[in-house]
Every structure is written in C-alpha cells, then in structure tokens.
Amino acid sequence: MKPSLPLIAAATILIFGALAPVIFSGEPYVLYVLTLALCYAIPVIGMNLLYGYTGLVSLGHMGFAGVGAYTTALLMKSAGLPFVPALLTGAAAAGFVGLLVGIPCLRLRSHFFIVVTLAVGMILFTLFNNLDPITGGAEGLPGIPRPQGFTLGSFVVEFRSVSGFYILTFIITALVFGLQVLLVRSDFGRALSSIRQDETLAAARGVNVFGHKLLAFVLSAAIAGVGGAMKVLFLRTAAPLSFELQESINLIVMLILGGAGYLIGPIVGAITFVALPEFLRAAAEMRLIFFGFTLLIVARFAPRGICGAVVAGTRILSRKDKNLVRHS
C-alpha cells in the first residue's frame, strides 16, 4: 500500500517544523511569527474536533482558551508551579468550564447553541476584563515567567530564547495534533462524524448523541485552554484582548481557510492566517486588503479550504494519470 497523502503532508510538516529553528536561525522574526501561528493552531485543532468532525460551531472558544491561559499564568506566576502541571491544570480548568457550559447548552439545536457559545465567550471576556484582583483587568497580567529550562547531560535545553520557545510550542502542538489523530481515527471519532452527518441516524444506531457531543466539547475546550496558555507564555503577558470575540471568530476563519475536517487543516489554516499578513508587509497599508481578497478567493473556489483544494487537485491529477495509461 502506498502511503496516503495526509500521511506524507503530516510528515513533511513535522520535519520542516522541527528544523525551522535551523532553517531560520538568522531570522528570529520568522520564528516569532511561526510560534504565534502554532499558538493559534492548538485551539484551532480543538475547534476542528468540534466543528470539523462533530459539526458543532462555537463562537466563544477563545473564552475557554482564556480560562486555560489565566489559570496557567496565575499558577506559574503567583504559585510558582512548574510548566507542565500548570499547563495541565489550565487545560483541565478550561475543560471544566466547557463541561459547565456544555451540560445545559448542548441540548439546544444548532443555531441556538451557536448563540449561547457567543454569549459565553462574551461573558468570559467580560470576566477577564473586570476581575481586576485575579486577572489584572484590562491591563492584564504582565511578567509571566517562561518555563524553566533543564540540562540533559551536557546539553542545555532552555525556553527563554525565541528558538527555544518555538521548539517547546512545536512539541506541545505535535502532542495535541497526535491526540487529535488518535481521537479522530477511532470508534469515538467515527461516532462524532456520524453525529455531524445525521444525528437522528446516529441515535438510532446506538450513539449517545448528547454524551458524545459533551465529551467532544469538553476536549475541545481543554485543547483551546492549552493553546491559550501557550499564547500568554509566549507573549509573557495575559491580556483580555487576546481572548475577545474577534479572536474566536478568527479561529473559525483559520479552520475554514485550512480545511475543516482534515487533520492538518488547523495547522495549515493557522500558519496561513497568521503568517500571510506578515509576509504581505511589502504591500504596506494595502496588505489587509490583499489578505481579505485571499480569503474571498479561498471561500469562493475552495469551499473545503486549502486542504480540500489540494485533495481535489490530486484526485483530478491521478485520474489523468490513469487515463494516460489506458490510452498509451
């Protein structure tokens, strides 16, 4: 059996991603942009699980990311907890808030559910912005420490430098991506997919629709929490504006741009969305206009995102190959 296209794409991205600090060693700015893109890719993976596979749209996902971010930031800054337990607690906190929101709201029909998630995102933003004693209010929480480095024999691993933190973000993204692969390519993933395709049929086949949706929502919120935590650790400050409505909408745009329902869709989407405006800097003030046009073109000609367009393209090419063989 020849290796499948997604597998090749995933391997390429993995190798390129791991080598990025070497390739761009003289250009910290590129690494900076890539790190930021990965910080977005993580919550987009969570969104992919929810929207791409289960078919639920959440307009408040950056709110959950914020819960994970503030929890991790406070634990590291005030309680002095090390990185890994702080990050896991942050994810658990985001997942717990997801659970609290999901239990009453997931019984609602699709568009009502979207409206509720919108409201939840706004409530969470308002809390971040106004709970001054905890979150620092609009000024945010500055001075969040970067994770402690460690030494492996004579090899020093540190996360303070741009490339060091990039590697850390890359590893976390790879782990979350691995989790996504495990979940999607399993009986659980197939059940989620059946809910997206036909909820009534899924129930008639024995799928506990509410239970599955709830677990998907909680996992998705927890993954978003990890992404939020990485983002504030990278920027070294937690500010409410990082978790406002516009950011939540950006997550959805990234997912659709990259390709919802494709494993690497979130990565492709986040990198394109974050990096493209940066590389369009040559166009100066016009760059956001160019960017807007790019999004329009994708929406018009590649409704299933970049990944969808690539898959469709290779299908056409392979069909041509077969025809050539037959006619020669």
Partner 1 sequence: MSGILDISGVSKKFGGIQAVDGASFSLGKPGIYGLIGPNGAGKTTMFDIICGRQVPDAGEVRFHAQRIDGVKPYKLAREGLARTFQECRVLPEETCLNNVLFAAQDKRLGSEVLQAFTRSATARRSAELEARRLLKLIDIERYADDPASALSYGQRRLLEIVSCLMSKPRILLLDEPASGINPTLLNTLHDFLVEIYEETKIVFLIVEHNMEFIMSLATEIVVMHQGRVLAQGAPERIQSDKNVIDAYLG
According to CB under 8 A, which one of 183, 235, 253, 309 is a site residue for partner 1?
Answer: 183
Residue among 80, 187, 285, 301 that touches partner 1 (CB under 8 A): 187
| Closer residue to partner 1, CB minimum distance, 53 or 83 | 53
Amino acid symbol at 189: G
Closest approach of partner 1 to the CB of residue 206, in Å: 4
Task: Report the candidate in 116, 20, 69, 74 with the shortest Cα–Cα distance to residue 222.
Answer: 69
Q: Closest CB to partner 1 among 132 and 198?
A: 198
> Which residues, 270 to 309, sit near partner 1 by CB under 8 A?
none
Pattern 237-276, binding to partner 1, x per CB under 8 A? ----------------------------------------
Tell me how many residues contact partner 1 (CB under 8 A): 24
* Stretch binding partner 1 (CB under 8 A), from 3-11, 49-57, 168-176, 182-190: 182-190
The span from the CA of 131 to the CA of 134, in Å, is 6
Count of beta carbons in the 10 Å neighbourhood of residue 167: 20
189 lines the binding site for partner 1 (CB under 8 A): yes
Q: What are the backbone dihedrals phi and psi of residue 141, each rounded to the nearest 5 degrees, phi first?
A: -110, 100
Is residue 198 at the binding interface for partner 1, with CB under 8 A as the rule?
yes
DSSP three-state, residue 79:
coil
Cα(218)–Cα(252) distance, integer angstroms: 18
Nearer Cβ to partner 1 (169/194): 194
Chain residues 199-228 in contact with partner 1, contact rule CB under 8 A: 200-201, 203-209, 211-212, 215
Two tokens, residue 209: 């629709």
Give the position of tokens 């409505």. Answer: 245
Spatial separation of the C-alpha atoms in residues 206 and 185, rounded to whole Å = 19
Closest to 98 (Cα-Cα) out of 195, 191, 208, 220: 220
Task: Out of 12, 186, 314, 323, point to the residue binding partner 1 (CB under 8 A).
Answer: 186
Q: Least CB distance from residue 110 to partner 1, whole Å?
A: 18
Bridge partners, 142 (sequence order): 237
Give the C-alpha separation, 152 to 156, whole Å: 6
Using CB under 8 A as the binding rule, whether residue 10 contacts partner 1 is answered as no
Contact positions vs partner 1 (CB under 8 A): 182-183, 186-191, 193-194, 197-198, 200-201, 203-209, 211-212, 215
